[in-house]
Amino acid sequence: NVLNVYAVVKTLCTTAGVSSVQVLVDGQPVRDRDNKPLGYISASDINLETEEYSSEMMEVTLYFADSNAKKLKPEKRTIKITDQQPVEQYLINELINGTESKELKSILSKKTVLVSADVDENICYLNFKANFLDDNSGTAEHEKLVIYSIVNSLTELNTISKVQFYMDGKRVDKFGSVSIKNHIGRNTGIINGEDKE
């Protein structure tokens, strides 16, 4: 029964907005081997020695600001991804970690927190902590780079054509001067012309 509970928790915690799960049977919580109620469990609470994660190396294209912080330039890198979180989440985390090139500038604040990333019908739904708005704000030019750094990086994946932003699970109309109310598609005009294919 405990293993079944763990499987349910692992699955449900991949859903946006779900951080912990309690499983009841006939209205009573499932108990462990010591007859203690399991209560609420998060995915991070589960660490079975028998768990095996599949992983692979993947080449991705990320967009950071050029040296003048006026346009975006691509940076290719190879990252390790596992089946424990969506590839879209790995890409955003790489953007948060910043560029590896001395010729480019990181855009997203290190304080940025992505809660979840889900894809449905080629639209990627990103749910950030609300601090995204304050920690990444700046000039109108910078705010545009922030949004399209994310959108252009994600739309490099052939499974994504547009991106929808949420903050703490709620849709927000504006990020500074940039409208993020609706689905946002790729912007090739903001990419440094020398590197466009």
pTM equals: 0.72
In this structure, are residues 50 and 171 in contact, taking their beta carbons and an 8 Å threshold? no
Pairing of strands 28-29, 24-25: antiparallel
Q: What stretches of the chain adopt beta strand conformation (E)?
A: 24-25, 28-29, 55-65, 72-82, 114-120, 123-128, 162-167, 170-171, 174-175, 178-179, 184-185
pLDDT over 70 (residue 70): yes
Specify whether the CB–CB gap between 151 and 158 falls below 8 A: no
Four-point Cα dihedral 171, 177, 182, 186, nearest 10: -130
Per-residue pLDDT of 30-48, as tens digits, reads 777 677 777 788 877 766 5
More confidently predicted of 68 and 9: 68
Which pLDDT value is given to residue 1? 57
pLDDT tens-digit profile of 172-189? 999 998 999 999 999 999
Structure tokens at 149: 């750094």
